[in-house]
Chain A
Amino acid sequence: MIRKILGAALATTALMIGAARAEDTIVWWDFLSGGDGVRMKAMLEEFNKEHAGKVKIDASTFDWGVPFYTKVQTSAAVGQGPDVMTYHESRMPLGISTGSLSPITPEELAASGIKATDFGPANWKAAQGTDGKQYGVPLDIHSIILYYNKDLLKKAGLLGDDGKPKGLDGLANWDAALAKLTTKDVAALSVPADNASGWRVFYTLLNQQGGDFLKDGKFLDGDNLDKAATVLAEMQKWVKNGWTPAKTEYPASIALFTAGKAAMHINGVWEVPTMVDLAKKGALFDWGAIQIPVIYDHPATWADSHSFAIPDRKGNPVDAAKRKEVLDAVHWFNEHSLEWAGGGHVPAFLPVQESAEFKALKPNSDYVSLAKTAVFDPVSTLAGVASPVYDAAGNYVVPAMSGEMEAADAAKQMRDDLQNQAK
């Protein structure tokens, strides 16, 4: 009897090994649970169908931010975790410093057909460590954009004949436009009052003045502090003058815009699917989206990049054959990233970004120009998604905007707090 069971068990095991050999499984972790996550699932299905019998991606989606990165770090340290994962480029300095990421050699990249020249230089370099090694391959560039309600802008005389807003560039014009758009029932602009959104808007406007948030290990050094205070005072003005509702939660800020109670809305490109889907149902007004206007001296927009990385699983590294399959898959996703662009993102892969198909994709093509002047987060273990810098935005930028803190005071406290944490 025992022999029979043993025999059956052995046969099953052999069968499983045989099956595994016939179709390799790539374990994949991501944090894409928004409108873009739906598109990623469709792409994963397509990949698995195309590679049936050879490679299969077994994907799991986890909670965005600290929970995801904690899970990655702890599992890599004990030799567990996925074969490939999505990773924010802004978070890479911290990931590299905690030893969670495995470097990818130039030979490995070449063998899978991944070329540095297929990506924007800043975008490619943001996935490198200070040791010059490559730790990831970018998939997209994502940023914040200005969503606008065409009907309300037209009423205020701020819509050009091309259907795009006019007269928003320059501080004086911008302020005048906000004042003009504000009525008894409608606010000019809604902005989510959370730490991440606060950081994105603040960093955008700081860079439009040519300010450095972090340089040579010093936060907001010299006149950068004044530039930061200028930005905070401006954001505070939006609230004080009633142009922007204060302390708006993330979902409520979107609802204000989609309900026609805010004429414009600043948020990430990842909310494009929200608007597209609403419009498809006929539940949205005529809308558009453009790059954030140049309120100060020159164009600049905060940006980050979803990239693919291989974890450094201690004592149980991803073997060479699996790494080849992973990088082949990464290349496949970049080649198919037009579909990913449907999630609002700008494809990182230049052959797609510059293709006629992408140029025809609306509304992406209306704001793709931002990629050329995109500014990525400062390179520091204190910066990036869900980092102390993001927390600082929640502790100083958001209260400054709502008027709970003086602008200059908030800028100074933010500098001191971060400088203290850098010790």
Chain B
Amino acid sequence: MIVKSRRNEIVVAYALMAPFIIVYGVLFVYPSVKMFKLSFTDAPLIGEGAWVGFKNFWRLQSDRLFSTAIWNTTYFVLLSVVPSTLIGLAVALGVNRLRGRLQGVVLAAFFLPYILPVSVVYRIWSWMFDKDFGVAQYVITPFTGGQHVSVFRTLPLFMPAVAFVTIWWLLGFNVLLFIAGLRNISSEIYEAAALDGAGRWTQFRRITWPLIWPVTALVLTIQLILQLKIFDQVYLFANNVRTDATMVMVQYILKQAFQMNKGGLAAAASVVLFLVIVVASVLQFQLLRARGER
């Protein structure tokens, strides 16, 4: 009897898990295995190809454009991940001090950009920064002696500007996570600290920062994975000009697969990106956890 009910339980468990396992298998595991296999062939975008061993990977490491893509992606990660986390925390600390309806309104204001689709974000900022008609030129010209600047068409400004827009766009989500984290810290701890004569800065350094650390680690990891996959904003803001100089990894994959019709090479580049993301995020999470436990 016991055996039977146990078996029933297992059957029910599998039945409940089945939809997820099937979807996960069909939409993730199977394509991933295919991608690894494809990366060792010379397949076009559609159809089979012949086995070529590590030739695609060899080609990638000698391709100047791929090196540019790796560098640009890394540069973008550096520009966006830590700044967006720190600014998110700062904003959350500020919002957390507000009370009642005002807090709701301010929080909504910070969260609003997050719900916009990337195409809208692109339109807003490309018009704001437009060299000839953009309102941002009024802010820029005092620094340049009246000279209008085409922000997204000046290479050294391109990645910082895209990172700026990205931080503006996605900040709301980080703020939300931090606020949830801050609300979890009991006010009694602060009261006790205040009684002991701890100032604002000490309170932050000794209480808020250590207790919010798990959330910070989470935000950093989410941001890292997200920004390694940067594509939309770079593609839109480059607007088909200087695409080689602003190339990022996902864009390289798109170019090889859909423009050059080289499915095998694109799969190899995808494998590299996949491994980079796995290694970087596991490494980062371990590092952050180690620091948090200290």
Chain B 149-167 near chain A by CB (<8 Å), digits 1 or 0: 0100111000000000000
Task: Say if the beta carbon of B239 comes within 8 Å of chain A.
Answer: yes
CB distance from A230 to the nearest CB of B (A): 22
Partner of B242, one of A66, A97, A394: A394
A207 to B291, CA, bound (A): 65
In the bound complex, residues from chain B placing their C-beta under 8 Å from that of A398 are 241-242
Chain A residue with the shortest CB-CB distance to B153:
A247
Contact call B47/A77, Cβ cutoff below 8 A: yes
Contact call A194/B261, Cβ cutoff below 8 A: no
Give the A interface residue count (CB, 8 A): 35
Partner of B126, one of A249, A399, A404: A249
Task: Say if the beta carbon of A245 comes within 8 Å of chain B.
Answer: yes
In the bound complex, residues from chain B placing their C-beta under 8 Å from that of A74 are 45-46
A125 to B157, CA, bound (A): 45
Contact call B243/A391, Cβ cutoff below 8 A: yes
> In chain B, residues 142-191, which have Cβ atoms closer than 8 Å to a Cβ of chain A?
150, 153-155
Task: Say if the beta carbon of A73 comes within 8 Å of chain B.
Answer: yes
Chain B residue with the shortest CB-CB distance to A77:
B46
CB distance from A99 to the nearest CB of B (A): 9
Contact call B133/A252, Cβ cutoff below 8 A: yes
Task: Say if the beta carbon of B283 comes within 8 Å of chain A.
Answer: no
In the bound complex, residues from chain B placing their C-beta under 8 Å from that of A256 are 132
Contact call A193/B258, Cβ cutoff below 8 A: no
CB distance from A366 to the nearest CB of B (A): 28
CB distance from A268 to the nearest CB of B (A): 15
In the bound complex, residues from chain B placing their C-beta under 8 Å from that of A395 are 241-245
Chain B residue with the shortest CB-CB distance to A262:
B132
In the bound complex, residues from chain A placing their C-beta under 8 Å from that of B240 are 194-196, 390-391, 394
A388 to B240, CA, bound (A): 11
> In chain B, residues 241-266, which have Cβ atoms closer than 8 Å to a Cβ of chain A?
241-245, 258-261
Contact call A195/B241, Cβ cutoff below 8 A: yes
In the bound complex, residues from chain B placing their C-beta under 8 Å from that of A66 are 258-259
Give the B interface residue count (CB, 8 A): 24
Partner of A247, one of B126, B150, B260: B150
Task: Say if the beta carbon of A112 comes within 8 Å of chain B.
Answer: no
Task: Say if the beta carbon of A123 comes within 8 Å of chain B.
Answer: no
Task: Say if the beta carbon of A274 comes within 8 Å of chain B.
Answer: no
Task: Say if the beta carbon of A402 comes within 8 Å of chain B.
Answer: yes
A198 to B241, CA, bound (A): 10
Task: Say if the beta carbon of B55 comes within 8 Å of chain A.
Answer: no
In the bound complex, residues from chain B placing their C-beta under 8 Å from that of A183 are none
Contact call A404/B259, Cβ cutoff below 8 A: no
In the bound complex, residues from chain A placing their C-beta under 8 Å from that of B132 are 245, 248-249, 252, 255-256
A248 to B131, CA, bound (A): 7
CB distance from B288 to the nearest CB of A (A): 39
Contact call B258/A247, Cβ cutoff below 8 A: no
A66 to B251, CA, bound (A): 13
CB distance from B35 to the nearest CB of A (A): 16
Contact call B153/A402, Cβ cutoff below 8 A: yes
In the bound complex, residues from chain A placing their C-beta under 8 Å from that of B245 are 395
A66 to B235, CA, bound (A): 12
CB distance from B69 to the nearest CB of A (A): 14
Chain B 194-224 near chain A by CB (<8 Å), digits 1 or 0: 0000000000000000000000000000000
Contact call A73/B45, Cβ cutoff below 8 A: yes
Chain A 374-389 near chain B by CB (<8 Å), digits 1 or 0: 0000000000001110
A234 to B46, CA, bound (A): 43
Task: Say if the beta carbon of A130 comes within 8 Å of chain B.
Answer: no
Task: Say if the beta carbon of B83 comes within 8 Å of chain A.
Answer: no
Contact call A421/B241, Cβ cutoff below 8 A: no
A66 to B47, CA, bound (A): 20
> In chain A, residues 238-293, which have Cβ atoms closer than 8 Å to a Cβ of chain B?
245-249, 252, 255-256
Task: Say if the beta carbon of A105 comes within 8 Å of chain B.
Answer: no
A404 to B242, CA, bound (A): 11
In the bound complex, residues from chain B placing their C-beta under 8 Å from that of A388 are 259-260
Chain B 35-69 near chain A by CB (<8 Å), digits 1 or 0: 00000000011110000000000000000000000
Partner of B243, one of A98, A196, A248, A394: A394
Contact call A255/B155, Cβ cutoff below 8 A: no
Pairs A-B, 5 closest by C-beta atoms: A247-B150, A247-B153, A77-B46, A394-B241, A195-B240
Given contacts A394-B241, A404-B155, 13 further A-B contacts (CB under 8 A): A73-B45, A77-B46, A98-B46, A193-B241, A195-B241, A195-B243, A247-B153, A247-B154, A252-B133, A255-B133, A391-B259, A394-B243, A421-B260
